[in-house]
Structure 1
Amino acid sequence: MNDRLIQTLLPIGADILRSLMIAAGIVVFSFFLIRMIPGDIVDVMGIQGTLTYGQQDAMRESLRLNEGWWSQFTAWLGMVAGGDFGVSLRYGTPILDLLRVALAPTLILGASALGIGLTLGVGLPVLACVFPKSIFVALVQFITLWSIVVPTFSIGILCVIVFAVWLGWIPAIGNMVVPAVILGMDTAGTLAKMLHEDMVDTERAAFVRTARAKGLSRWQIVLRHILPNALTVVVALFGILLAGALTGAITMEVVFGLPGLGTLTLQAIQGRDYPVVQAVVIWLGLTVVLANLISDLVQRSLDPRIGR
């Protein structure tokens, strides 16, 4: 009994340890990589002509920007460990307050895109499996090709030009429906083909032939027997889908002028507001790591053979 328990817990412990190591890597690299961008907040303000050379030196010293990277890192890490991400160098506002304000639009857009993506990514393969010689099979192929070939950023700019500037159907700034649909199609394309192929493979299983012999309708066979056995694909890809929805939401916010994490990050990069950029990168990274960990654990619980 103890051996069986150890065999069960070891892979779970390995998953958690790997996730913690990735999280630690995100924290470290987010600090040092952002500082490879030339210049800092003092240089930006100096170029704008708002500071004298003496004021620049004093400000750089007060912000500890004249210290070595390692000294800055240890001081910053101590604050983060206490749940404090510091103050924005540009606005003088606590970073957690900035994140709270910017987080809502990003979560709404990301959740909307994920909802649309899961609806299309699951719905189209189901319809293609129920009607194997219909247009739904071609739609699965189309949306998969769309997600591979069409960059979301480029199609977002094109939609602004066509629907906002030329046709005037949507506002050029602040529209959330169009970016949610664009990201949703990209998310659906990541999922649809793999789920459809898995459903087609499952259809050849003996229990499906038994269900067919019992006289069950095509809908009943697909929804009751084929789809539940193929949904492990959705669980396995959930972390990737969530990461794509959140990072895509940040990109679309810049294109459509939404006041979310994307706009906040762009402004912080332009102003060399290092602490804000670090906080956003860490939040996104840890969210994706946690989603992948939960996905792995759920998948392992559904199929204990995984990882053995």
Structure 2
Amino acid sequence: MSGYPNNSGYGYGPSPSQPYSAPYGAPPPAQPYGAPPPAQPYGAPPPAQPYGAPPPAQPYGAAPQSAPYGGDYKPPKDNKLSAPYGAPPPSSSASGYPPQSAPYGSPFASLVPSSFPPGTDPNVISCFQMADQDGSGFIDDKELQRALSSYNQSFSIRTVHLLMYLFTNTNTRKIGPKEFTSVFYSLQNWRGIFERFDRDRSGKIDMSELRDALLSLGFAVSPAVLELLVSKFDKSGGKNKAIEYDNFIECCLTVKGLTEKFKEKDTTYSGSATFAYESFMLTVLPFLVA
């Protein structure tokens, strides 16, 4: 009525009564935030995912999608299958490794059945069998002490423990036929050494004789160490200044063990008497031998 033309020609956009038509190829208008996506026509394929995008999440409880026939199958990482909760662990044999062994340091680690070496003296076999009263194939420290006493080789229980440790390298305090045979023949050898250096046939060896006996076994000790050894292993408390056969065995075993300990700490030890070796022996012996 005013005479002015409508505003379609002045750049103000289409009139409210005319719907806006997007140019061909332009993207669809953005949906308002929270609005549902537009429904796909029935039978239409799902919209393609952009390259590299993760697959769409499956609804809770839905079965996983199976790979198409002939598709690439990727096993779980490191080929480790997760077992259900409460299921036993997989067998170690499947991995190629032996089953887990007993804890390291077990005192019974080397306590395995043994047999008499070929050619063993029948008297030695009979002696062991008489000591093994329960027929277990092993004898303990008290049984070994009694068995050696039957051959006029009387030893204190401390000497017996040293012998058992020397031939088993454990504190099991049990030995089998093989170890018993080694103990028996070694004692015979040591008795021969003792009798050879017991020049006056007194049944004892004094300080000078002990020095020569230890040298024959490869141990060179100083006069101060010799005096300490004799005073510690003399049954008379140092009055006789001599050592009998049973204490001679314990003395030799003690010197052998301490020398090996010293070698572990001082690799330059060559078997000759040194100041460091003498100091080590004089320091340890008073506490080791009661």
Q: Point out the structure with max Rg over C-alpha.
A: 2
TM-score (norm 2): 0.21
TM-score scaled by length of structure 1: 0.20
- Greater RCO (Cα-Cα under 8 Å, separation 6 or more): 1
